[in-house]
Structure 1
Amino acid sequence: MSEPLRIVIVEDEALIVMQLEILIEEAGHQVVGTAASAGDAIAVARRTRPDIVFIDLQLRGGSSGLDVAKALAEEPAMTLVFLTANARHFSDDFAGAAAVIAKPFSEAIIGDTMVFLEECIRTPPPLSALPLGLRCAPGYLERLGT
């Protein structure tokens, strides 16, 4: 197995954070930080330099995952993925994110997504099919050569 992907989780609901941490670690990857607000998320991501940042759309203190995505969109080598119950409301540019996962998500969706994203990051283009429950930005898939 290759080196684990480094993940930051931006989510203000503790139970969802714990669930994601378990699923990500079971998939063989490492959670290097968590945050519940936009300001904390940006600081944690810039400090830890993760491969993937999972971002909830609505965060603590009225802050938004969109603010996190805007701030981190130009950071090199960070793949941004939104987690939201409002997945259908995104425009095709996904606010700078590579993909969106609809809530509620299942263990299978996160597991399949981790395999797919690892292929996208480590050995593009991915060999796996796009997982059910993961919606990718068209521009992201084009950049990968799919």
Structure 2
Amino acid sequence: MSEPLRIVVVEDEALIVMQLEILLEEAGHEVVGTAVSARDAVAVARRTRPDIVLIDLQLKGGSSGLDVAKDLADEPAMMLVFLTANASRFHDDFAGAVAVIAKPFSEAIIGNTMGFLEECIRTPPPVSNLPLGLRLAPGYLASLGG
């Protein structure tokens, strides 16, 4: 197995954070930080330099995952992925993110999605099929040749 993906989880629901940490670590990845607000998320991501930042749309203190994506969009080698129950909000522009994972999610969805995203990062283009529950931004999909 290659190096584990380094992941930051941006989510203000403690139970979801715990669930994601368990699922991601069981899949062989490393959660290098968590945050509950946009300001904290940007600071944690810039400090830890993760491969992937999983971002909920609704965050504490009236902040938004869209703010996180906007602030981190120009960071090199950091894949931004929204994790939200409002996946239908995204049409053509994913606000700097490359993908959206729909909530609620299952262990299989997270496992398959992380495997797919690992291929996108480590050995593009991915050879696996697009997992259920994952939508790619049209521009990112085009960059993969899809």
TM-score (norm 1): 0.98
> 2:37 aligns to what?
37
Measured against aligned partners, the alpha-carbon deviations of 1:75-125 in whole angstroms (never above 9, x if no partner) come to 000110001111011121211100001111111100000100000000000
Secondary structure at 2:54 match in 1 = strand
User: Where does structure 1 lack aligned partners over 5 or more consecutive residues?
Assistant: none
> 1:70 aligns to what?
70
> 2:122 aligns to what?
122
Secondary structure at 2:95 match in 1 = helix
Q: Distance in 1 between matches of 2:67 and 2:143?
A: 23
Identity %: 84
> 2:58 aligns to what?
58
Letter of the structure 1 residue corresponding to residue 45 of structure 2: A
User: Where does structure 2 lack aligned partners over 5 or more consecutive residues?
Assistant: none
Q: Distance in 2 between matches of 1:11 and 1:3?
A: 25
Measured against aligned partners, the alpha-carbon deviations of 1:25-58 in whole angstroms (never above 9, x if no partner) come to 0110000000000000000000000000000000
Q: Distance in 2 between matches of 1:50 and 1:144?
A: 21
Q: Distance in 2 between matches of 1:74 and 1:88?
A: 25
Offset of residue 143 of structure 1: 1.6
Q: Distance in 1 between matches of 2:58 and 2:39?
A: 13
1:86 is the counterpart of 2:86: yes
The runs of at least 4 consecutive aligned structure 1 residues that moved more than 6 Å come to: none
Offset of residue 138 of structure 1: 1.2
> 1:102 aligns to what?
102
Q: Distance in 2 between matches of 1:125 and 1:145?
A: 8
Secondary structure at 1:112 match in 2 = helix
Secondary structure at 1:88 match in 2 = helix
